Amino acid sequence: MAEVKVPELAESISEGSIAQWLKQPGDHVEKGEYVLELETDKVNVEIISDYTGTLSEHLAEEGDTVQVGQAIAIVDENGSAAAAPKAEAPKVEEAKAEPAKTEQAAPAKEAPKAEAKEASSTQQVIASPAARKLAREKGIDLTQVPVADPLGRVRVQDVEAASNAPAAPAAAPKQAPAAKKAAAPVEVNDDRIEVVKMTRRRQTIAKRLVQVQSEAAMLTTFNEVDLSAVMELRSRHKDSFVKTNDVKLGFMSFFTKAVIGALKKYPLLNAEIQGDHILKKNFYDIGVAVSTDEGLVVPVVRDADRKSFAEIEKNISDLAVKARNNKLGLSDLSGGTFTITNGGTFGSLLSTPILNAPQVGILGMHTIKTRPIAVGDQIENRPMMYLALSYDHRIVDGKEAVGFLVAIKDMLEDPEQLLLQG
């Protein structure tokens, strides 16, 4: 008998919910074949079997919460799904004649099931895959490893240091909890009310939105930008841009470049708070909020400062398609130093975006409206957009926040600056 376990997915993911079993007990599975779909806080991932044989039983049900490293199914490497029904049919008479033998054999099946439900006591620890592997090889409990990383992550050097430390008195072994069962459905005595269980992702979104508002000193400042120059530039170059790069020249590349230029001037908006430390990030991984049927996700454009307008547009377009097709990987969502969200695609005129923790800044774009604007002594109709910057006042003061937004406004109203500063 072999166990199918929840693999290590990413440092920030320690558990998930079983969304759907793709293989049922009695089904034949090949090594590398998908057996279930696991829903995590960020993406849905399909878990494979590392063994060939017959899936003999599920150790957790759909909707259950399971931990990284936990056994979730048993594969009988000596079994055959096709042969199993045929072997049982002719033995019906024999089974009736020997009921005692059958009853004696039944309890033996419980042993592997009980063993399979045991999970490592290190499941909740955030550690690199290399550190987890080394800890397993040395028999070290990751929960007992002192860490030096300000983020609390266990690294290889921490495990090595712990292995060289004097041995501590052995503690009584703990039995890891089994899979958490899905909560009982809410009962409502009214036919007009439909009860729908939130997906794991929606639960996570709800929890984090409340958490960031209770932990961060969040404040929002506003400005407006005249997009006449950007729209004129797009109009002049849109055909040649598509012909050369096979992608449309949208607004997002302009705003991404402007954000990068402003972040270079005001680096604290590209930072992160960890305890009483500030982590200043000297790279620009820009998150772009994408709305999907299952909720908002924020895939990341890596090293956006090193990308051209065309590369940014292609990157954003590819990520948006993957998000809407539920094909985003963990690498597409991890990290991110600053986020841009565009409520204007839905017609929003003005909003106060919520921070994407642990980031300390998020820019909100909105719909473009033609409005009369005073230009010198004249009144002209101009394409205007309201901009909103939400920021964490714990490390970003109002002066920096306002300056950041003004810098974005200035670069967008004079797009040539984007080539120099973005």
Residues 75, 48 contacting (CB under 8 angstroms):
no
Catalytic residue among 50, 239, 303, 397: 397
- Cβ-count burial of 211 within 10 angstroms (0-12 exposed, 13-18 middle, 19+ buried)? exposed
Q: Roughly how many angstroms between the first and final C-alpha of the chain, as a whole number?
A: 57
Q: Say how far apart CA 279 and CA 270 lie, in whole Å.
A: 9
Detail the DSSP E strand segments found in 189-276: 218-226, 271-274
Among residues 15, 395, 405, the alpha carbon closest in space to that of 215 is found at 395
Q: In a 3-state reduction of DSSP, which class is residue 306?
A: helix
> Is residue 28 annotated as a catalytic residue, yes or no?
no
Helical packing angle, 309-324 and 252-265, nearest 10°:
110
Catalytic residue among 50, 239, 277, 393: 393
Mark whether 237 is an active-site residue: no
Contacts 24+ apart (CB under 8 A), 89-95: none
Residue 21: closest CA among 4, 8, 9: 4
Helix (H) or strand (E) holding 260: helix 252-265
What lies within 8 Å, CB to CB, of 350 at 6+ separation is: 222, 366, 386, 388
* Residues marked as catalytic: 393, 397
